Amino acid sequence: MKHLLSLKDLTTEEIFNILEMAKKLKYELQNDIEHKILKGKTLGMIFTKSSTRTRVSFEVGMVQLGGYPLFLSSQDIQLGRGETIEDTAKVLSRYVDGIMIRTYKQSDVEDLAKYGTVPVINGLTDLFHPCQVLADLLTIYESKSKLDGLKLAYVGDGNNIAHSLLYGCSKVGMDIAVATPKGYECNAEVVKTAKEYAKLTGVNITITEDPIEAVKDADVVYTDTWVSMGQEEEKQKRIEIFKHYQVNGELFSMAKEDAIFLHCLPAYRGYEVTSEVIDGPQSLVFDEAENRLHVQKAVMALLL
């Protein structure tokens, strides 16, 4: 593994290696076992899209591993203001041991990896969110003691989370059903590629407009905000279109009795999910948020 640009880049074995390393680092942290395995290393963190969880988890994680996190906002660097991605990648590669970027275009992440000489980690793009889904897989594994043979239902917008879940589930042997409104479907190329992986792992992928069909007998129910950053002007339109995709008690009851609820956060109660579900006993959203720290530490430890 040279970079983490998308879960498409990882083999099933590499995904499980990350999860095993995350479990090890989590255990060591909880038991005050020092693991300064990145002592002397520096991670450049580029943010053209603001974040709570991504910044804090990468920054804290790098410190816990003994390294130094360097925060670079769009105000701190010349990226997009005259300097090319190619030049930025080459310059930063002379200073840091790895780059994490949270931005809009997937092509920016891929160009950083293409032109730089250090590992690049995708902290989020409009197309993919691989670190989040690695945290999701760890959370599911901790809850269910397995991934293979489970069913995950995703309800909502066919966005970067849905895309990464399609890749992640199809590679670890987990069935996935995605329910989105017409016009808000997942990227067709992503679905096609995920189905190719699914043939190799025996996974069933269901793409539907019916949230009940998706959630029926699911082990995991997942949703995300209906209005992502940059879509604020569409808020009222989206609320009207997505109102039948709310994960409420009635929809959640269609899943298995011991199903868990996940959400990448931030969540907007009363919109994509009700308080009854997200604040209920089967919600693991804060364990899931914590696991961002552990899987990202694992990724950095394996890459840097």
Give which of 32, 87, 96, 95 is closest to 62, Cα–Cα.
96
pLDDT in tens, the chain (304 residues): 699 999 998 999 999 999 999 999 999 999 999 999 999 999 999 999 888 999 999 999 999 999 999 999 877 776 656 788 999 999 999 999 999 999 999 999 999 999 999 999 999 999 999 999 999 999 999 999 999 999 999 999 999 999 999 999 999 999 999 999 999 999 999 999 999 999 999 999 999 999 999 999 999 999 999 988 777 888 899 999 999 999 999 999 999 999 999 999 999 999 999 999 999 999 999 999 999 999 999 999 999 9
For the chain, how far is it from start to end, CA to CA, in angstroms?
A: 10
User: How far is it, in rounded angstroms, from Cα 26 to Cα 40?
Assistant: 21
Catalytic member of 64, 292, 294, 296:
292
Which amino acid, residue 301? A
State whether 112 and 237 are in the same domain: no
Query: 37 exposed, middle or buried (CB, 10 Å; 0-12, 13-18, 19+)?
Result: middle
State whether 24 and 98 are in the same domain: yes
Q: Positive or negative CA dihedral for 18, 24, 28, 33?
A: negative
Residue 35 lies in a domain: yes
- Global pTM exceeds 0.75: yes
What is the gyration radius of the CA atoms in the chain, in angstroms?
19
Confirm whether 292 is a catalytic residue: yes
Residue 165 lies in a domain: yes
Confirm whether 269 is a catalytic residue: no
State whether 80 and 27 are in the same domain: yes
DSSP element (H, E) containing 261: strand 260-263
pLDDT of residue 80: 59
Catalytic member of 64, 132, 246, 296:
132
pLDDT of residue 142: 98
Q: How many domains does the chain have?
A: 2
State whether 30 and 103 are in the same domain: yes
Residue 14 lies in a domain: yes
State whether 101 and 152 are in the same domain: no
State whether 283 and 145 are in the same domain: yes
State whether 135 and 81 are in the same domain: no
State whether 105 and 253 are in the same domain: no
* Residue count of the chain: 304
Catalytic member of 131, 169, 186, 264:
264
Confirm whether 231 is a catalytic residue: no
DSSP element (H, E) containing 88: helix 85-95
Confirm whether 55 is a catalytic residue: no
State whether 118 and 135 are in the same domain: no
Give which of 10, 95, 70, 8 is closest to 298, Cα–Cα.
10
Residue 1 lies in a domain: no
pLDDT of residue 18: 98
Taking each helix axis as running N to C, give the angle between helix 12-30 and helix 130-144, from 0 to 180 degrees, rounded to the nearest 10. 70
User: How far is it, in rounded angstroms, from Cα 137 to Cα 231?
Assistant: 27
Note down the domain range covering 111: 7-129+291-303
State whether 103 and 147 are in the same domain: no
Confirm whether 81 is a catalytic residue: no
pLDDT of residue 81: 65
Residue 199 lies in a domain: yes
Residue 2 lies in a domain: no
pLDDT of residue 76: 78
Is the bond leading into 119 cis (omega within 30 degrees of zero)? no
State whether 57 and 70 are in the same domain: yes
Distances (CA, A) of 87 to 42, 77, 79, 118, 224: 19, 12, 9, 14, 35
Exposure string of 56-77, with b = 16+ CB inside 10 Å and e = fewer, is ebbbebbebbebbbbebeeeeb
Confirm whether 169 is a catalytic residue: no
Catalytic member of 129, 163, 263, 294:
129
Residue 212 lies in a domain: yes
How open is the CA angle 259-214-269, to the nearest 5 degrees? 65
State whether 299 and 166 are in the same domain: no
**Chain CA centroid to CA 138, Å:** 11
Alpha helices in 156-284 (DSSP H): 160-172, 188-201, 211-215, 235-242, 249-252, 275-278
**Any idea what the CATH number is for the domain that residue 80 is in?**
3.40.50.1370
